[in-house]
Structure formats: structure tokens, C-alpha cells
């Protein structure tokens, strides 16, 4: 679905952010894109959607070069950015103006979602709170049923009940003909959703593995002194040591995404050697 080959990109008067970046993503998965501030996550999403152009290399999405922004491709991509502005119109007006651009838009889904989020179809979206605007745009993007849905910090500004509702909606909306890329710092909000974890650091992809492999290769638990030889990474929380250990019997274990992220950022080579 997405093929990025030898991609180079730099902002003006700055050092290269991406240099020979390569990545392949397939349909039918929910990808978690993680990284520190400034690591290149949002830039990568903009390159995938054709909002930025690579200096060299290729970014091919659904068989088309993203930079060409062909209408046939754009109708299969919806992005909910971290920061956005909405027009001074009602929910229904926005729907009537924008939904026709997406051939599989499902109005029944949309009204169900905004009802769950307690947004009226007669609300002026310009006057909504930021959290309500985010819920409105998420509802619209998911209902568009594009083959690629990109969400940049989707749970930002959502309250706890809304985060739970968001996870339910995302889980029910994935299918074999659709992929979702979620970029977020709210790691714990996403752990039950993701099929694959991609970690970016300093313009490089330093980790890219699916959840099933991670759970079979690594164990996340409170550490004992007798397990030190099996230890890949550890950290202390309120006087208790937690560690990532080698999974010697390949049985599936629960994943601590926050600890995994810290471990990969600290020593990606050591963690990747287990795969």
C-alpha cells in the first residue's frame, strides 16, 4: 500500500531530516508511529499524503506517487492533523460540501459517531471547543472509509470517556482493505489497537515490528536479580525495577509500549537483535 524508497528530505537551510529512508506498509493494519518531538513523524505523514515533496527517492501510495496529488489517490486518503482549523458552517453543511469527495462515505456511520460524541448536526463547527472539533473531524475521517486514514495525535484534547469511545470506533472500522496510521505521544491510549509499531528517531526508522512478534520475542515484567543475564532493558519506578527480558519460550506476553519505546530509544540495536 505504501512504498517509500531511498527518500531524502530536508527543510530549507536545515540538515537532512530523512536520508535514504525506506519503509513498506500494507493494507489491513493499524500502525503506531512513535517518536520524540522533532523525530520526523509529522513530516513523514505529510510526505505520505503529498503535502510535502521529497528531494529525491519515491513515496508511492496505493500505486500512485503521493507528490502528484492525483484526485484518484486523494479520495482514498483522509488525514486528521494535530492542528487544524474548521470553517464557520454547521456540521450538516460541512457534510454536504465535503462528503461527496469520498465515494464510500457512510452518513449513517457519521451520525452514529457524532451522536456518541454528543455533537449535534446543527452545531456550528467553528464554535465547538477544540476537543469537540477533534471528535467531529475524527468522526468524519473514519466515516469517509478511505483506504488510508492518518491520525496525528488523535487522542489529544479528548476526555477519558471520549478516548474509550474513540478506541471502540477505530477497532470496529478496520478491515482488509483499509489501513490506519496513528502518530501519538499518548502511548498507553493506543496499546490495545495497534498491529505494528514503528519508531522514528533523528529521521531514521529504528524499529518496525508487528505486535505478535514483539509479544513472542520480549517479556515485560518486574525484574528479579536472578534474571539479570536475560535482561535487555530496565527502569526503576517508585523503587521497583521493571525490565524487558528475552522471551525464551516464545509464549505471547503483554506489551508495555512505553517501556518498549524507552528501550528502543536507549539502545535500538540491542532490542532489534532479538528479531
Residue range 95-147, pLDDT digits in tens: 999 999 999 999 999 999 999 999 999 999 999 999 999 999 999 999 999 99
Residue range 162-172, pLDDT digits in tens: 999 999 999 99
CATH at 89: 3.40.50.300
Which of 160, 182, 202 terminates a domain? The answer is 202
Q: Which residues of 148-185 are buried (b: 16+ CB within 10 A; e: fewer)?
A: bbbbbbbbeebeeebbebbbebbeebbeeebbbbbbbe
Is the CB of residue 166 less than 8 Å from the CB of residue 159?
A: no
Average pLDDT for 45-51: 95
**25 has pLDDT over 60:** yes
* Cα-based distances in Å from 43 to 134, 150, 199, 203, 243: 20, 12, 14, 10, 32
Q: What pLDDT sits at residue 226?
A: 55
pLDDT tier for residue 76 given thresholds of 50, 70 and 90: very high
Q: What pLDDT sits at residue 113?
A: 96
Residues 220 and 168 in one domain: no
Query: Backbone phi, then psi, for 72, in 5-degree steps?
Result: -60, -35
Residues 193 and 139 in one domain: yes
Residues 177 and 217 in one domain: no
Residues 21 and 137 in one domain: yes
Share of the chain above pLDDT 70, in %: 99
Residues 194 and 225 in one domain: no
Residue with the bigger pLDDT between 190 and 42: it is: 42
Alpha-carbon span 222 to 231, nearest angstrom? 11
Q: Specify which residues 152 forms β-bridges with.
A: 183
Write out the DSSP string of 116-131: HTT--TTSBGGGS-HH
Which of 151, 176, 202 terminates a domain? The answer is 202
| Backbone torsion region of residue 254, taken as left when φ is above 0, otherwise alpha when ψ lies between -120 and 50, otherwise beta | beta
Residues 139 and 255 in one domain: no
Residues 147 and 21 in one domain: yes
Residues 126 and 175 in one domain: yes
Q: What's the grid cell of residue 42? A: 509529522
Residues 16 and 100 in one domain: yes
pTM of the model: 0.93
Residues 191 and 217 in one domain: no
87: containing domain: 2-202
Q: How many domains does the chain have?
A: 2
Angle 105-106-112 (CA atoms, 0-180°, nearest 5)? 135
DSSP H helical ranges for the chain = 41-48, 71-74, 91-98, 107-116, 130-143, 160-173, 211-217, 257-266, 268-272
Which of 147, 181, 202 terminates a domain? The answer is 202
Average pLDDT for 156-165: 90
Residue range 185-206, pLDDT digits in tens: 877 777 788 999 999 998 899 9
Residues 127 and 219 in one domain: no
Q: What pLDDT sits at residue 240?
A: 85
Q: Average pLDDT of the chain?
A: 92
Q: What is the DSSP letter of 90?
A: B
Residues 180 and 237 in one domain: no
Amino acid at each position: 500500500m505504501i512504498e517509500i524508497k531511498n527518500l531524502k528530505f530536508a527543510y530549507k537551510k536545515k540538515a537532512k531530516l530523512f536520508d535514504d529512508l525506506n519503509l513498506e506498509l500494507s493494507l489491513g493494519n493499524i500502525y503506531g508511529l512513535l517518536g520524540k518531538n522533532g523525530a520526523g513523524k509529522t513530516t513523514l505523514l505529510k510526505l505520505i499524503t503529498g503535502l510535502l515533496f521529497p528531494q529525491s527517492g519515491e513515496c508511492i501510495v496505493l500505486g500512485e506517487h503521493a507528490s502528484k496529488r492525483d484526485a484518484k489517490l486523494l479520495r482514498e486518503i483522509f488525514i486528521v492533523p494535530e492542528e487544524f482549523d474548521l470553517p464557520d458552517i454547521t456540521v450538516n453543511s460541512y457534510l454536504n460540501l465535503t462528503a461527496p469527495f469520498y465515494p464510500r462515505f457512510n452518513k449513517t456511520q457519521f451520525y452514529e459517531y457524532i451522536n456518541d460524541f454528543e455533537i449535534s448536526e446543527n452545531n456550528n463547527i467553528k464554535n465547538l471547543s477544540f476537543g469537540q472539533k477533534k471528535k467531529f473531524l475524527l468522526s468524519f475521517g473514519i466515516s469517509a472509509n478511505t483506504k488510508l486514514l492518518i491520525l496525528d495525535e488523535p487522542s489529544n484534547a479528548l476526555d477519558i470517556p471520549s478516548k474509550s469511545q474513540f478506541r471502540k470506533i477505530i477497532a470496529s472500522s478496520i478491515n482488509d482493505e483499509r489501513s490506519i496510521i496513528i502518530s501519538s505521544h499518548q502511548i498507553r491510549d493506543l496499546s490495545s489497537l495497534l498491529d505494528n509499531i514503528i519508531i522514528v528517531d533523528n529521521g531514521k526508522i529504528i524499529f518496525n515490528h508487528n505486535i505478535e512478534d514483539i509479544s513472542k520475542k520480549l517479556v515485560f515484567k518486574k525484574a528479579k536479580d536472578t534474571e539479570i543475564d536475560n535482561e535487555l532493558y530496565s527502569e526503576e519506578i517508585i523503587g521497583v525495577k521493571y525490565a524487558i527480558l528475552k522471551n525464551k519460550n516464545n509464549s505471547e506476553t503483554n506489551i508495555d509500549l512505553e517501556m518498549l519505546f524507552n528501550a528502543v530509544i536507549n539502545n535500538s540495536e540491542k532490542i532489534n537483535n532479538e528479531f
